[in-house]
Structure 1
Amino acid sequence: MPNQEAEPVQAQPAAPAEPAVPSLEEQLASAEARAAEMQDAFMRAKAEADNIRRRAQEDVSKAHKFAVESFAEAMVPVKDSLEMALKVEAPTLESLKEGVEMTLKQLNSAFEKNRLIEIMPAQGEKLDPNRHQAVAVVPADQEANTVVAVLQKGYMIADRLLRPAIVTAAQPK
């Protein structure tokens, strides 16, 4: 008999074990834990949004309350100057004029600091209904719908019209 060697038996790979399927109780517990995490995250986000909204409302309220503060600070010296002028015992015409000029300078400075811009159209300037209010149309030797005379200056705060300039306009020929 021929010498037969026994072939070594190779180990067969083990069949992959089926993944362990979590039980329904485990799945429910996991879902409940995720739901609790989501609920907590939602409540925190909602509280943060409420805080942001409240802070924004407080900021708007403060802005409204103190919006005039800068202008008031610029106007106080003007009032002081007027009060000092009234205290002078025997003012001369020259001292009154000088005091009024200085007070007007302070007032113009206050207007400038607070972006209060004067509207003073020149004669012949095209009538702008967004900045000028024509109260009369008069015959003139200039182009129609142009400013003939300014009866009262207008004012703007930044880009917003506060009061239009009151003007007379040239009538069409």
Structure 2
Amino acid sequence: MFQLKSSNFDQLRAFSDKKPEEETEEKKPEEETAESQEETSDDKVEKLESELKEMKDQLLRSLAEQENIRRIAKRDVENARNFAVSSFAKSLLDTSDNLSRAMEAVPEEYRTDTENHPVLATLYEGIQMTDDGLTKAFAKNGLKKFGAPGDKFDPNMHEALFEYPDENMEAGSVGQVMKVGFSLNDRVIRPAEVGVTKKA
């Protein structure tokens, strides 16, 4: 009959007791690997979410910048269209002033006197027609005259050359117009030169 020695039995028992522990120890690294994989996948998700957020911000900034560029370009095109003739118009303002001076130089009693002063009357009529034609051409391109006695003084539109007392007009009004002003599409390109009334 086969007999086990006590020492052999103890070794066998120790081996059998040890094996489950080893298996448990072998499983622990696998569990750690699974946990590390879960952590790694969480890190990847966070990283992807962060990149997505950053790309979304960049996209929004890019869209806002494009909208600003479009708005600025549209404004520049409108300004170019509305004020392209400003330098040309300014060069014609002196011509308009000279026509006005020529009409004022003809005495009122001679302006319509075709019997006694037909030459002056005809000259005045021709100058007036030329001035009217120029004024219509100005208006067609957005250029308008302004500045008349009785207007309220506006420093944005009028240049005050002097002040004088006038009992018949309200203080701070345009009393005399030395040179009319011009605006191009509601932008003043030349202020009116005026005399302003004050309290007597």
TM-score normalised to the size of structure 2?
0.48
1:151 aligns with 2:187: no
For residues 128 and 96 of structure 1, what CA distance do their matches in structure 2 show? 31
- Counterpart mapping for 1:13-162 below 5 A: 23-54=35-66, 56-57=68-69, 59-61=71-73, 63-64=75-76, 67-70=79-82, 72=84, 98=129, 101-111=132-142, 116-123=143-150, 125-142=151-168, 143-156=170-183, 160-162=187-189
Q: Is the 8 A contact 2:82 2:185 kept in 1?
A: no
TM-score normalised to the size of structure 1?
0.53
Give the root-mean-square deviation of aligned CA atoms.
3.7
Q: Which has the higher helix share?
A: 2
Q: Between Structure 1 and Structure 2, whose CA radius of gyration is higher?
A: 2
Alignment partner, residue 195 of structure 2: 168
Q: Structure 1: 5+ residue runs without aligned partners?
A: 1-21, 77-91
Q: Structure 2: 5+ residue runs without aligned partners?
A: 1-33, 89-121
Task: Note the alpha carbon deviations across 1:18-72, whole angstroms, 9 max, x for none.
Answer: xxxx834303312322321330342243044225414532552464256222454
For residues 145 and 103 of structure 1, what CA distance do their matches in structure 2 show? 31
Shift of 1:95: 7.3
Shift of 1:168: 0.6
Identity value in percent: 22
Equivalent residue pairs, number: 130
